């Protein structure tokens, strides 16, 4: 697994202002190895193998909220993803939703589905997200 060119600069900027975590269906070992190989630094990693079920199961999102001590204030947490199904599931748990358009993800997705998300980043990826959230 490789990261997008905008990812590390964007994450570094976001981490100066926000807590940034990964919530993934990937295995813990795979994510640790990929993040080390790509120089990705986050505040925490939550993986489906640790949680015991896969996204979009609501348990995954609620477990992350509990670990972040935000279970009573999910609206203070934003789920950032390039997969509409992931954001739709997160929204049902109260998360803010930010869709990052990636050419290789959600191919063929009806763009009308994106209208329901709180923010859509059409170009520039995570670096653009950091700029729009005032982290740069």
| 33 belongs to a structural domain | yes
**What domain count does the chain have?**
1
CATH of the domain at 94: 3.40.50.1000
| 77 belongs to a structural domain | yes
- The domain of 22 spans 7-131
| 82 belongs to a structural domain | yes
Question: Is residue 130 predicted with pLDDT exceeding 90?
Answer: yes
| 2 belongs to a structural domain | no
Average pLDDT estimate for 84-94 = 98
| 43 belongs to a structural domain | yes
Q: Which long-range contacts (C-beta less than 8 Å, at least 24 apart) are formed by 52-61?
A: 54/25, 55/23, 55/24, 55/25, 55/86, 55/89, 56/85, 56/86, 56/88, 56/89, 57/89, 58/89, 58/92, 58/93, 60/23, 61/23, 61/89, 61/90, 61/93, 61/95
pLDDT tens across 8-21, in order? Answer: 999 999 999 999 99
pTM of the model: 0.95
Average pLDDT estimate for 40-59 = 98
């Amino acid at each position: 697994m490789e990261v997008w060119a905008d990812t590390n600069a964007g994450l570094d900027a976001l981490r100066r202002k926000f807590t940034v975590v990964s919530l993934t269906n990937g295995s813990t070992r795979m994510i640790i190895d990929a993040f080390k190989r790509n120089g990705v630094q986050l505040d925490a990693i939550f993986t489906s193998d640790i949680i015991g079920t896969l996204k979009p199961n609501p348990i995954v999102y609620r477990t992350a909220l509990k670990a972040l001590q935000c279970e009573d204030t999910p609206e203070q947490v934003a789920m950032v993803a390039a997969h509409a199904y992931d954001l739709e599931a997160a929204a049902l748990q109260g998360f803010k939703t930010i869709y990052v358009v990636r050419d290789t993800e959600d191919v063929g997705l009806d763009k009308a589905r994106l209208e329901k998300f709180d923010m859509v980043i059409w170009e520039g990826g995570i670096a653009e997200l950091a700029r729009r959230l005032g982290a740069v």
